[in-house]
Amino acid sequence: MIDANLNDPRKMYYSEKFPDQEQNTPALQDKMDPKPDCGEESYKGYNRLEGRRALITGGDSGIGRAAAIAYAREGADVAIQFFPGEEPDAEEVKALIEKEGRKALLLPYDLRDDNAATEIVTRTVDAFGGLDLLVLNAAQQIAQPSLSDLTMKQVHDTFKVNIISMFETVKAAEEHLKPGSAIITTTSVQSFDPSDPLMDYAATKGAISNFTVSLSSYFA
């Protein structure tokens, strides 16, 4: 009988109930239970990004961390922006990038700050000699049970981190991105199926979807 080398996807990943858990900002992936799998042990690279230079926002955890690990294993040098205070997660990613023989750059910046998005581009170009891959992934998500609990300060901060910083980063990066470069944005199901407790977050994700379509037309 032929061995088809199949894996049952129902048994490959964590399927138990997740325990209730919350962290204040700054938050660490290392403290999550169970600890997320971002490909630290499983992702295999094939040098498909050899010689590329990448900047990933929110690159210390979650989707950004998985991208950073994968890009390094595909041959890219990787800079990661992360929220100050989340250095332990960022240092883990740095070690994984360097283990692949690639350059790593840690950028502890709060994207709510003026010029932060511009500075991370400048520092990446200075360190790597250019920029070919821009992954706009950083986001703030804070659930509120009612509209009265949602402060305008939170609304402003969410928009600054989630979409305004994207505009600033792309503007700063445009002169460095040559034909064949890539800009990748992270949006969400919240962009078309918003949840009441995530009203500000969902609004930014809808804006990101629109922004991405506009960018594709502009650069084309």
Q: What is the pLDDT of residues 139-182, one digit of tens each?
A: 999 999 999 999 999 999 999 999 999 999 999 999 999 999 99
Average per-residue pLDDT for the chain: 93
Ordered domains of the chain (ranges, CATH) = 49-219 (3.40.50.720)
What is the tens place of the pLDDT at every residue in 24-55?
A: 887 888 777 777 777 778 889 899 999 999 99
What are the structure tokens assigned to 11, written together?
A: 């048994």
**Lookup: tokens for 1:** 């009988």
For the entire predicted model, the pTM comes to 0.90
Ramachandran category for residue 111: left, alpha or beta (phi over 0 → left; psi -120 to 50 → alpha): alpha
d(CA 138, CA 60): 10
Q: Is the pLDDT score of 11 beyond 90?
A: no
For residue 118, what are the CA distances in angstroms to 27, 164, 170, 184? 24, 12, 9, 17
Q: Enumerate residues 6+ apart whose C-beta is below 8 A from 208.
A: 162, 163, 166, 185, 186, 187, 191
Give the model's pLDDT for residue 28.
Answer: 82
Q: Range with the lowest mean pLDDT among 9-18, 52-61, 118-127, 199-208?
A: 9-18
Active site residue 14: no
User: Choosing from 13, 14, 109, 201, which is the catalytic residue?
Assistant: 201
